[in-house]
Amino acid sequence: MIEAINRAHAWEMAHDPTVVVLGEDVGVNGGVFRATAGLLEKFGKERVQDTPLAEGMIAGMSIGMASQGLRPVAEIQFMGFIYPAMDQIANHMARMRNRTRGRITLPLVMRMPHGGGIHAPEHHSESLEAMLAHHAGLRVVCPSSPARAYGLLLASIRDPDPVMFLEPVRLYRLVRQEVADDGQALPLDVCFRLREGTDVTIVTWGAMTFEVMRAAEALQKEGVSCEVIDLATLSPIDHDTILESVAKTGRLVIVHEAARNCGIGAEIAATVAEQGLYDLQAPIRRVTGYDTVMPLFRLEYDYIPSVARIMDAVRDTLAE
């Protein structure tokens, strides 16, 4: 995935001179995870800019650049570091189109590693997507494979409005996949159906797709047919695809790494309860992180939903 993200950067910078990259250590060092490695050498310091350790400044600079005709792609080094930038994100970035009645739009992307699983210190393993999705005016995207990272990042850079691009840190180097470096974007605002099924719908996103697909394969051996949907764009949510799937299967399990309370899974569950209640044959189940701070180091794997927890939730809903 990290290589796919790097290639998407390079493709768009080569084909659109307004695309610039900024953030902490993105230039000389190529980013803490090497997502921007080689871009400084290819495109020069005018377009690849190292910044001070100041997330509010990075967000503010991005707003200024985007308002004046550039397409900045800013990196927040870890999602847990986003709080100093929230003043700029919530009060200006998300509101500029509405504030100016469409006269100024902000075609910018803020990239950030998302979630846990690499035994990092505090603030390095956060899943804060619900906080961002709550702000009208922001699009929130979270890819779950190298191919989707490549295509969705291209689409995000080309989008006329601000995109928060959450990169599952656990997937950066977990799997390999053939990805054509052809500049083909993938659609935003739609789900991706990763697996067809008839017995239960499982909705997930980001790194949790890895565990969900493993659970679906194991359940298939028990005779359970799981339909797996990758949300991909977390705001706005493609509820139509989810409702269509639930109408077919009659059951819904939602899996996410973020804490349970006020998570995006609750929004999906509420919408299905409002619009698809009579299609349900059993109560909706959620498999999530816990309502605690992400525990440090090896305890992360007790926090992150496991294949076993996902399989148990599916069995529970099938037993109803």
Domains in the chain with CATH codes: 2-171 (3.40.50.970), 192-319 (3.40.50.920)
Round to the nearest angstrom and report the end-to-end CA distance of the chain: 39
Distance CA 287, CA 198 (A): 20
Q: How confident is the model at residue 298 (pLDDT cuts 50, 70, 90)?
A: confident
How far from chain centre, in Å, is Cα 187?
14
**What's the average model confidence in pLDDT over 255-266?**
97
pLDDT digits (tens, 9 = 90+) for 212-225: 999 999 999 999 99
* C-alpha closest to that of 120 among 85, 172, 84, 74: 172
| Number of separate helices (H) and strands (E) present in the chain | 12, 12
Decide: helix, strand or coil at residue 234: strand
Within 10 A of 60 (CB to CB), how many other CB atoms are there? 17
Q: 178, exposed or middle or buried, with CB in 10 Å at 0-12, 13-18, 19+?
A: exposed
Decide: helix, strand or coil at residue 202: strand
* C-alpha closest to that of 128 among 81, 162, 74: 81
Tokens of 1: 């995935």
- Which residues fall within 8 angstroms of residue 169, CB to CB, at 6 or more apart? 33, 113, 114, 115, 116, 117, 118, 120, 125, 207
Sheet with 163-168, edge to edge strand ranges: 48-50, 19-23, 71-75, 109-114, 163-168, 139-141, 233-235
Q: How confident is the model at residue 74 (pLDDT cuts 50, 70, 90)?
A: very high
Question: Residue 296: is its pLDDT beyond 90?
Answer: no
Q: What percent of the chain has pLDDT over 90?
A: 95
Distance CA 254, CA 269 (A): 8
Give, in order, the Cα–Cα distances in Å from 32 to each of 126, 168, 211, 264: 16, 14, 26, 28
**What's the average model confidence in pLDDT over 164-182?**
96
Question: Residue 121: is its pLDDT beyond 90?
Answer: no
What pLDDT is attached to residue 320? 87
Going by the DSSP 8-state scheme, the letter that residue 186 receives in this structure is: P
**What's the average model confidence in pLDDT over 251-274?**
98
Ranking 119-123, 163-167, 237-241, 288-292 by mean pLDDT, the lowest is 119-123
pLDDT digits (tens, 9 = 90+) for 24-73: 999 999 999 999 999 999 999 999 999 999 999 999 999 999 999 999 99
Average pLDDT score, the chain: 97
Q: Model's pTM, two decimal places?
A: 0.97
Please identify which residue in the block is written with the tokens 């080569």: 14
Q: Where are the beta strands (DSSP E) in 162-284?
A: 163-168, 192-195, 200-204, 226-230, 233-235, 252-259
Name the residue type at position 189: D
Q: Where are the beta strands (DSSP E) in the chain?
A: 19-23, 48-50, 71-75, 109-114, 139-141, 163-168, 192-195, 200-204, 226-230, 233-235, 252-259, 285-289
What pLDDT is attached to residue 36? 98
Decide: helix, strand or coil at residue 110: strand
Q: How confident is the model at residue 131 (pLDDT cuts 50, 70, 90)?
A: very high
Active site residues: 124
**What's the average model confidence in pLDDT over 274-279?**
98
Please identify which residue in the block is written with the tokens 């707003």: 63
Taking each helix axis as running N to C, give the angle between helix 264-275 and helix 239-249, from 0 to 180 degrees, rounded to the nearest 10.
60
Distance CA 231, CA 148 (A): 12
Q: Using alpha carbons only, what angle is made at residue 303 by residues 90 and 114, rounded to the nearest 5 degrees?
A: 35
Q: 169, exposed or middle or buried, with CB in 10 Å at 0-12, 13-18, 19+?
A: buried
